[in-house]
A = this chain, B = another copy of it.
Amino acid sequence: MGLYRVAVVGGAGYAGEELVRILSRHPGVALTQLTSRMHRGERVREVISGLPGAAENLVFEEPDPSRLCEADVIFLALPHGAAAEYVVPLREAGKIVVDLSADFRLRNPRHYEADYGWEHPAPALLSKAVYALPELHRAEIRHGDLLAAPGCYPTSILLGLSPALGADWLREEEIVANSLSGTSGAGRRPEVPLLFSEMCENARPYGIPRHRHMAEMEQELDRLAGRKIDLVFIPHLIPLARGILSTIVCPLRTEIGLEEMHAHYVSFYRNDAFVRVLRLGELPAVRDVVRTNRADIGLQWDGTHRRLLVFCAIDNLGKGAAGQAVQAMNLRLGLPEEEGLLR
């Protein structure tokens, strides 16, 4: 039996490149097609580095849904709003689609319209999509055909909060999450504020008071908790190319010792290869997770104020995008979940 055939649409953005890197080393699949309007006709080795020998002769093609149907799984790494054009025909053809954009993450098309500013292009498909955060929705992903890979900020915050929400420790009060992101999260967009000359020696909040990822986080937090969760979310851009660090302050309902909370986190993620709950006293660092599919979670306890402090570091292009999308594909195809991924 041959390997599964996979295609990547939009392979020349930061997340698309990373998908190509991961998939080309993946022993369980064959990367057979790659599209990019900008690089059409160029060989992938001229555009993307860090590939094993075998994948390098692939050539970027003009994206074409009918040609994409030759693959078993199609990854879409396109700007928000552009996925539906491919999702509709590919789903009609029975293909498995993993979409890295925000287009199929929200169940309610009105939330999508509110955050993105245009009508959802394929609202009928929203109820079919699976929010593909493997640690939280493994069973659904195994049976999903339209997998919506979560956003980078939501991944770091949902992984950090899930054990606490599941244990129902939190007071009915706001959680405060501050996230620090590298510049690749903004994509390969030629804009003055993203220049090296501007971001070097800089750090700044942005997207306040309502970042586009809010609806996604609220939807998923409410689902996890079974009630409305209040989140104050403040993203910042810092002088990193890659990486996200989220610092989450959680007001606790009851008196629980830090050791007990830590044991619960360890237990919660005991079967998750890509979440590392750090030892008590250790805190995560972006450097340790960049270029991996791992989330590092550290816990601390502010006893004076009965707050649990959760720190979660991921690579925005790894666990926050391409790595997580491949992890979801592994689940869907029945491959070992860790295959082709680093931690």
Contact = CB atoms under 8 A, between A and B. Distances in A.
B201 A288 contact: no
Interface residues of A, number: 80
B241 A49 contact: no
Interface stretch (A76-84, A99-107, A141-149, A183-191): A183-191
A271 B25 CA distance: 21
Question: Which of A56, A196, A205, A341 has the most chain B CB within a 10 Å cutoff?
Answer: A196
Nearest to A288: B49
Interface string A32-67: 000000000000010001111100100000000000
Contacts of A232: 249, 302, 305, 307, 309
Interface string A200-216: 11111110110000000
A84 B276 CA distance: 38
A342 B51 contact: yes
A87 interface: no
Nearest to A24: B342
B196 A241 contact: yes
A58 to B, nearest CB: 14
Interface in A116-135: none
A23 interface: no
A242 interface: yes
Given A49-B343, A183-B197, A286 B188 contact: no
Contacts of A49: 287-289, 292, 294, 343
A199 to B, nearest CB: 4
Interface string A295-323: 00010111111010101010000000000
Contact of A53 (B195, B245, B302, B338): B338
Contact of A209 (B202, B302, B341): B302
A52 B56 CA distance: 22
Contacts of A197: 14, 182-184, 186, 188, 194, 241
Given A194-B197, A230-B304, A239-B240, 16 more contacts: A49-B294, A53-B343, A176-B249, A196-B196, A196-B199, A196-B200, A196-B241, A203-B313, A204-B287, A205-B245, A205-B283, A209-B301, A230-B305, A232-B305, A232-B309, A236-B245
What are the nearest 5 A-B pairs in CB distance?
A204-B285, A196-B199, A202-B287, A178-B178, A190-B190
26 contacts: A14-B197, A25-B25, A52-B342, A52-B343, A180-B236, A182-B197, A183-B200, A188-B195, A188-B197, A190-B190, A196-B198, A197-B241, A200-B239, A200-B241, A202-B285, A202-B287, A203-B243, A204-B283, A204-B284, A204-B285, A204-B286, A204-B287, A204-B313, A205-B283, A209-B303, A234-B249
